Every structure is written in C-alpha cells, then in structure tokens.
Amino acid sequence: MDQISTDLTDRGADRAAIDRALREAVDTLAPDVAQVASYHFGWTDAEGRPAEARPGKHVRPLLACLTADALGADREAALAAACAVELVHNHSLVHDDVIDRDTHRRSRPTVWAVYGVPAAILVGDAMHALAFEALSRLPGTRVDSASSLLGKTVNQLVRGQMSDMAFETRTDVRLGDCVEMVAGKTAALMACSTSLGAIVAGAEEETENSAYRFGFHLGMCFQHVDDLLGIWGEQEATGKPKYSDLRNRKKSLPVVAAFESESSEAERLRDFFAPAADQTERLYGLPTERRGDEEEADYEAMAELVSRLGGEAVSRSAAEAHLEQALAALDGMGLDTEGAAPLRAMAVLLAERDRL
C-alpha cells in the first residue's frame, strides 16, 4: 500500500485539488455534522483539532479525475465528479463500519466507535446527500445522467453489502454469488468513477460505455487483489493484521473457490468457516463478537489449505484476466497513447499491489 501512496503522490496536484473540493463540500454542513465528517476524513482528531492522519488513497476520485482529464473535461466538472464518488464511497465506509462493527479504519477508531451509532448514521447520510449536491453543480444537462448513474451505483453498493452480510451466516455460498457480491460492492463504484469522468467530459455514449467497462474490470481486479492480500498479505503492506480475512471468517472469493474443490480437505475448511454457534444471538440486531481462541499457526495452516485447494490460483488468474479486460476497454476509449498513459499506469499500479 505504501507503494501506492508513493506513486499516487505523483498525482499530488490532483490529490490536493480533490482534498480541497471535499473540504469545501464538508464545510457546507452544520458544524457538529462537519466535525464528525472531518474526523472521518482524517483532517481533525476526535476533539476537532487539526490532525495529519494518513489520508485515504483517493483511488476512486483519481480515476474520475484522470478519466475526465483524458477526455477533455474542464477542471471544475472533473472535481465535481471526483467529489461525488469519494463522498459516496465514504458514506458507505461509515455505514459499513457500523454494520460490520469494525472499530478501526486506517489505524484510527471508526466514527461510530468515537461518536456513537446515531451520529455515524447521520454523517453517512450527510455525505450521501452532499455527493448528489456536488453533481447538481455540473453545467448543463449532464446532471441527469450523472445523478441517475450515481443513484443506481449506491443501490448496487447496498445490494453488495446485503449479500456480504448474508454470506456471514449462509453455508451455501457459491463462486457465482461471490463474484456478484464483489461486482456490487467494489466494481460498481469504480465503474461509476470512470463513467462519471466520461459524462462530465461530455463524451459520446460509446466512449462512456468503454470508460464504464474500464472502471468495472479494474474494480474486479482491485477486489481480487484485496482478497489475496487479506489472506496472504503482510501487515506492513496491508495495514491490517496478517490473515485478517481468515480471522474474520470472511467468505472471500479464494475461500469459496477452495470450498468448491473436489478435495476431501474442503470439508475441514468449511468447518473452520461455519458460523459460530453464538452468531445468531444478535444484540440490537448486530452480530456478537467473534470467538478468538485460534492460534497464529491455525491461520497459517488455513491459508496454506486455501492455497492448496486452488483458491489462491483462482483469484490470481481472475485478477489478471480483469486487468487485461480493463486495458482492452481503455483501448476502446479512443485516446492516443499519451492521453491513455496516466489511466494505464494507475490500472497497472492497482493490479500490482500484491507484488510488493
């Protein structure tokens, strides 16, 4: 991940402009709402004092900006699109942290953990509305397509998160379910980012479709790489404890692929991922804490098992295939080599996080 941060710093001017636009949007909120949002973005600490937390990677707004730039959008329109996707992304992070009871994000306590669930729900709602407001300032008739796409995308995120939640207690999750969930939870918003970039540039429908496919396949690739890192990534690369997806019994794609192998060992893996007996006891509708009696060696053994049953290979080849499809879609956007270069570089960078 540090590699990404460093390389994305090459786009320092873009990142600074996006940050400025986000701060301006958040400043329009009521002071107590803005304070919670500022904490979430890492601009302030829990007491509202300026802070220099490690910022998010801004992957989605950069994709929107780079696409808009490549297709000749003016700066203000490109930043409106960038702001909108970053606000929707953060809206869903804040709500998902409540839903998943995650207490930490980017090495800091999550919004609900600091300010309570009610404030987290409301601040998520505020960012959601701000995203549409950002789009409403686009010049001319592009607001309708942009708003329509963003609305549909939020509903794909909701659908993906609903499936993800259902996976926790389902024992019959198949590879196809996983792919569909990933498409909704990750790829849809990346596709929206590049597609909005094209819309605000006033691109032809065919170009916008190519931009959509570029973002979509890049999002699929991105999630497959994330799944690989969630099991086999080192803490210094991911910022999370090693084996974090195994600790959380996350039925990610490599795991589900391994479930489906013909090997008799698949049963052992399924047992490890069976819902805890107490997991149906829900406090105020939320899952109770995960049991924690496993040893590091158990996780290592499970990671090895997922790999032996072919789960790692499935994700790795899927990631490669989607990168290829993304680059093919980029070729369809009608840009010359120089124009496409920043998008191509970003795609390759996102795909190669696991080589660190």
- Both structure tokens of 2: 């540090």
In 252-310, alpha helices (H): 253-259, 266-273, 296-308
Could you say which of 165, 175, 349, 356 contacts its own copies (CB under 8 A)? 165
Q: Interface with its own copies by CB under 8 A: which range of 93-101, 170-178, 249-257, 300-308?
A: 93-101
CA distance 319 to 214: 14
Measured distance CA(242)–CA(232) in Å, rounded: 7
DSSP state of 294: -
Joined tokens for residue 203: 């691109």
* Stretch 108-147: interaction string toward its own copies, x if CB under 8 A: ----x--xxxxxxxxxxxx-xxx-xx-xxxx-xx-xxx-x
Our CB check for its own copies shows the closer of 151 and 241 to be 151
Angle, helix 296-308 to helix 205-232, in steps of 10 degrees: 130
Q: Does 277 bind its own copies (CB under 8 A)?
A: no
Cα–Cα distance, 322 to 56 (Å, whole number): 24
Neighbours of 2 (CB within 10 A): 11
Per CB under 8 A, 46 contacts its own copies: no
Of 30 and 297, CB closest to its own copies: 30
288 binds its own copies (CB under 8 A): no
Q: Which of 283, 293, 336, 338 binds its own copies (CB under 8 A)?
A: 283
Distance CA 286, CA 100 (A): 8
Interface with its own copies, residue 175, by CB under 8 A: no
Residue 241 makes contact with its own copies by CB under 8 A: no
Which of 291, 316, 289, 300 shows the shortest CA–CA distance to 242? 300
Stretch that binds its own copies, among 15-23, 51-59, 158-166, 292-300 (CB under 8 A): 158-166
Piece of 170-178, 188-196, 272-280, 282-290 that binds its own copies (CB under 8 A): 282-290
Q: Is 172 in the site for its own copies (CB under 8 A)?
A: no
Of 113 and 326, the one with the shorter C-beta distance to its own copies is 113
